[in-house]
Structure 1
Amino acid sequence: MGARLFVLFTTAFFMTSVSADAEDTFSLERRATAKSVNRYGDVPLGAVIRTDERYNQNGLFQGPRGWAYWNLLPDPKPYQNPNLWPDQRPTYFFGQLAMPAGSSLTLRGRYPYARYFKFNLYKFERNTFVAIPGASLAGYDIEPDAGSANPYKIGADRLVPNRNFTLRVLAEDPPANAVDRPRNTIYAGRDEKVVQAGFRIYVSDMGYDGAGWGPSDTPSLDGPGITYQGILPDGTQLSGEQVVKQWGRPMGSAPPPLSVDQWYKLIDAKDNDPALTPATAPARRDPQFELFWGMKYTVAGAFMKPEDRAKITVATEMEGGGDPTTEYMVNYLSRQFGPIYVFRAKLPTFPDTFAGVGTMTEGQVAYWSVVTVASAPSGELWDGVFDMQVPLDKEGYYTIVVSRPEDRPKNATNENGIAWIDWGPGEGLSDPRNRKDWGMLLMRFMVPQKGWEFSPAKVTKPGTEAAVMGPYYPRGYYTTKAEFEAEGPLK
């Protein structure tokens, strides 16, 4: 077991400069033929183009990165590819920088007109980017500038016009006591290592661009979303251009956490769980959703015998650039067990802000979504829905059907109270071993409410997800088009 884990993690998840030629040809072909936006709440094509025109400059924070930009723009940059299992709705702006010890970076911006907004720092450790403890600020944690208001506080005016803020990143070690930290300040440390800094923006309001900083239907914009300047340890001030030149480091699309050959080495390993076969692994006949417990446990461990997997120490820090306040769930599938997978659960409540509601409300989560994705060496996303797009029954339960378009039951429609998502073309690899029947689901519970009884954040041990989450745990089964059309969903 140890040998193959070593092989798996010798490939570094390090967002470095990657040329367009290095992109997997399968991904490029898929992007070129991507479907247009077809769900209420998705980013319209015009807003995608306008967001790219406004913010895709050669600055410190490169973007917009996201599914819509990579799939819908005619000629996206490599760094706009949000591979490594993204979500369909967010807009990301990421940058890499190396700050001299004792220096500082000041960021000024406007709270976006969006449901969720966050700034994070990550460092490259243990062959992956790991969230720096305490180095993140969500929108509701950011204090506004004098004369401005924070639209993310519960009960706040979401549409307040004066919405400016200022953040500081210090190349210092954080104070031992958290109460000694100045407001809106996070610490990158004095080790001068490259850090990855990023903004996440989820569900910009209707009528706004993907970033939520400007209108989607007119060229007007009251300045850029984010500006920055630096100060060297000796007090010398750096302009935004100087910050980029002196501290910025190149970015491209994220290399996968393991290569194609490493992936198939896992699939064909002789010591895999005997219940698996190379044709379907790590998918099982009775697939179960489970929380993401780190790459070792959730990816490599999925191939192992249960007793071997139980010996893996689960990750205690968010790996791979994920949001540490998000609970992720995965489920491996194969069409060889059935052409349709159906799952059902109660949907957590959420602040439905898309239509431009005036007051910020609280939900059991800030955002929920489920997507179909490719295998780890690809990391591409095929299709997905998020909370407001999912029809519910009178008790608050959703039913979602996953299939290829030709297998979609005629009653798997929103009008019939059922959401549908495209299974996708399989592992997503331009390799003769690519298994077109394979599939994977990725579910997000963002910022679960601390007082929520069934929160996935309360799961502390693998295998206890269903018991802790109760009605919110997604339970599913394989079926066929004819069976579903005749019987509808099982309950």
Structure 2
Amino acid sequence: MAIAALSTGLTVTLTLLPASAQDATSEEVRPAAQPVSEHAAKSLGTVVRTDERYGHDRLFQGPRGWVYWNVLEGPKPIQNPNLWPDMQSTYFLGRFAMPPGSSMTLRGSFPYARFFQFAIYKFERETFVAIGESLRGPDFEPDPLSENPFRVGANRLAEHRNYTIRILAEPPPQDASQRETNTLYVGRDGAELQGVIRIYLADQNKDGAGWGPADAPFAGTGLPVYEGTLADGTKLNAEQVAQQFGKPFSAATKQPMTTDEWVQLVQSERNDPDLPPETAPARNPPQWEKYWTNAYTLFGAFKPPTERANIRYEGAMEGGGEGPYLVTFLSRTFGPVYVLQGKMPTFPDTFAGEDGKGLAIMPEAQTQYWSLVSCEAVPSGQVVDGIADFQVPLDADRNYTIVVSRPEDRPSNATLENGVAWLKWSPRGEGLDDPRNRSDFGMLIMRIMANNPEWKERPDLITTPGTEAEVMGPYFPRGYYTTRTDFESNGVKLP
């Protein structure tokens, strides 16, 4: 099956290989568990090789992501990204606790990818919450004689691309200027931590993690090598770090709500009177807003405005993730086709480059990464489809139109050839394995990550609920419900 992915000025055709056609670099042959979305950017063989190359580390578990869970036959529980992942992401998660005064040193190489981050989360509020300790790609100081490919103007394809970072079980200096280079501080309380290696959109000719080639043997290591030091100076090798610092993983990320809790919320008599149980929390016209805390965004979306105003919205978004995110809830009851419009910020189109080997020089842009995913409800947490910035056709003013529907409702003119991207609406609706499942439910999440501080309409500047459209101007997404027949007859309705 051929998959077309639209890049700025370039069409890239990728082939999903059946298991029998995988090359000899795969140690194990596994058939695809499910068909891959037409927006996936890696072949089945590449997905399998990524899993085999990097799936054996004692501390950093993975690779975790939508494509590994949906494509691999018999994926590991840790590979289930059951809280609305991006389709182009590859994660590696390490859970550990560090005694006071200890440290970990990690030595790795920058991936060939659009976005790279190492972040630390602390377990609290029954999940892992960001503590402000992270390094995005441009933040890393490269090793001597190496280049950081994520900095504007850098050679993205540089051969020497190594880094060294340190995790220190001490509180961060009160004076930020006293922080050590490439150092993350996690405190002396010995709390359970989660380190996340986050990689988005590896280059076309690389594996899913962006370290090794997509279709040839790889002699490198990819994942960083690590060692530790205790407060008394005792040195720990990688095996000892995993043994003394490492913590076990649960089968999967705990959902913010169970099915029963979600259904009770849907049917609550205290909900906004304008939100009947058949469609709550979707509204007509649909409303986009910034994703705040789970309490404000998930629970609060059902409540009357006066009650919602009393819910805390400030603070880190639970469950990790690199925002800002925008979210909207939908219902096919209002219309089987949802049309989304907005202006695409400039982004570095790194995937293919001029020769199919990735963009050579990192350009300046408004955002590092933009994407849209179609989701099931929170008890499921699954994504059913997703599209990244380079796959969205734009007009001369960088405006886009994206149609969301089930395949049977897809308008015949909702195609790339007509300048329209298409995203699949969840065929299971809420995705609950429960007779109370509402099949008409829909949900979209938009990621706009690592934004340029010079971009005046960036969503990072949204600090109060309700100001999203004012802050983002033409970049704020707007949408409406319609039908297949109406869209085929009238096309896009201008605002």
- Could you list the per-position Cα deviations for residues 101-129 of structure 1 after superposition, in whole angstroms to 9, with x for gaps in the alignment? 11110101000011110000010123332
Aligned CA distance change for structure 1 residues 33 and 47 (closer, same or farther; 3 Å)? closer
CA distance in 2, matches of 1:215, 1:32: 21
> Retained in 2: the 8 A contact 1:215–1:221?
no
Partner residue in 2 for 1:258: 257
> Retained in 1: the 8 A contact 2:69–2:81?
yes
Q: Which amino acid aligns with 2:101?
A: G
Instruction: Report the alpha carbon displacement of residue 293 of structure 1 after superposing the two structures with TM.
Output: 1.6
Map of 1:15-414 to 2, 5 A cutoff?
34-39=34-39, 42-133=41-132, 135-251=133-249, 252-323=251-322, 326-355=323-352, 356-414=358-416
> Retained in 1: the 8 A contact 2:63–2:92?
yes
CA distance in 2, matches of 1:349, 1:414: 19
- Could you list the per-position Cα deviations for residues 49-85 of structure 1 after superposition, in whole angstroms to 9, with x for gaps in the alignment? 1100000004211010000000000010000011111
Instruction: Report the alpha carbon displacement of residue 37 of structure 1 after superposing the two structures with TM.
Output: 4.7
Q: Which amino acid aligns with 2:351?
A: F
CA distance in 1, matches of 2:124, 2:270: 29
RCO (CA 8 Å, sep 6+): is it higher in 1 or 2?
1
Q: Which amino acid aligns with 1:430?
A: D
Corresponding residue SS for 1:402: strand
- Confirm or deny that 1:473 pairs with 2:476: yes
> Retained in 2: the 8 A contact 1:400–1:419?
yes
CA distance in 2, matches of 1:143, 1:380: 36
Q: Which amino acid aligns with 1:38?
A: E
CA distance in 2, matches of 1:278, 1:343: 25
Partner residue in 1 for 2:4: none
> Retained in 1: the 8 A contact 2:414–2:422?
yes
Q: Which runs of 5+ in 2 are unaligned?
A: 1-30, 353-357
Instruction: Report the alpha carbon displacement of residue 177 of structure 1 after superposing the two structures with TM.
Output: 1.1
Q: Which amino acid aligns with 1:418?
A: V
- Could you list the per-position Cα deviations for residues 188-211 of structure 1 after superposition, in whole angstroms to 9, with x for gaps in the alignment? 110001100011001111110011
Corresponding residue SS for 1:248: coil
Q: Which amino acid aligns with 2:465?
A: P
Instruction: Report the alpha carbon displacement of residue 467 of structure 1 after superposing the two structures with TM.
Output: 1.6
CA distance in 1, matches of 2:37, 2:331: 27
Q: Which amino acid aligns with 1:396?
A: R
Partner residue in 2 for 1:18: none
> Retained in 1: the 8 A contact 2:370–2:449?
yes
Instruction: Report the alpha carbon displacement of residue 337 of structure 1 after superposing the two structures with TM.
Output: 0.7
- Could you list the per-position Cα deviations for residues 224-263 of structure 1 after superposition, in whole angstroms to 9, with x for gaps in the alignment? 3311111111211111111111111112320111111000
Corresponding residue SS for 2:488: helix
- Confirm or deny that 1:420 pairs with 2:422: yes
Corresponding residue SS for 1:330: strand
> Retained in 1: the 8 A contact 2:369–2:448?
yes
Q: Which amino acid aligns with 1:353?
A: T
CA distance in 2, matches of 1:123, 1:421: 34
Instruction: Report the alpha carbon displacement of residue 34 of structure 1 after superposing the two structures with TM.
Output: 2.7
CA distance in 2, matches of 1:117, 1:151: 10
Corresponding residue SS for 1:447: strand
Corresponding residue SS for 2:47: helix
Corresponding residue SS for 1:249: coil
CA distance in 2, matches of 1:51, 1:36: 16
CA distance in 2, matches of 1:170, 1:131: 16
CA distance in 2, matches of 1:408, 1:224: 41
- Confirm or deny that 1:489 pairs with 2:492: yes
CA distance in 2, matches of 1:141, 1:33: 38
Q: Percent identity?
A: 55
Corresponding residue SS for 1:106: strand
Q: Which amino acid aligns with 1:243?
A: V
Q: Which amino acid aligns with 1:36?
A: V
> Retained in 1: the 8 A contact 2:129–2:316?
yes
Corresponding residue SS for 2:403: strand
> Retained in 1: the 8 A contact 2:228–2:235?
yes
CA distance in 2, matches of 1:202, 1:332: 25
> Retained in 1: the 8 A contact 2:294–2:317?
no
CA distance in 2, matches of 1:35, 1:288: 31
> Retained in 2: the 8 A contact 1:256–1:377?
yes
Q: Which runs of 5+ in 1 are unaligned?
A: 1-30
Partner residue in 1 for 2:355: none
CA distance in 2, matches of 1:174, 1:465: 32
Alignment coverage as a number of residue pairs: 457
> Retained in 2: the 8 A contact 1:113–1:159?
yes
Aligned CA distance change for structure 1 residues 489 and 33 (closer, same or farther; 3 Å)? farther
CA distance in 2, matches of 1:112, 1:490: 42
Q: Which amino acid aligns with 2:45?
A: G
> Retained in 2: the 8 A contact 1:148–1:164?
yes
Corresponding residue SS for 1:415: helix
Instruction: Report the alpha carbon displacement of residue 38 of structure 1 after superposing the two structures with TM.
Output: 2.8
CA distance in 1, matches of 2:420, 2:222: 40
| 4+ runs deviating over 4 angstroms | none
Corresponding residue SS for 2:367: coil
CA distance in 2, matches of 1:295, 1:337: 25
CA distance in 2, matches of 1:358, 1:306: 49
- TM-score by length of structure 1 reads 0.91
> Retained in 2: the 8 A contact 1:37–1:44?
no
Instruction: Report the alpha carbon displacement of residue 320 of structure 1 after superposing the two structures with TM.
Output: 1.6
RMSD of the TM alignment (CA)? 1.3
CA distance in 1, matches of 2:345, 2:326: 14
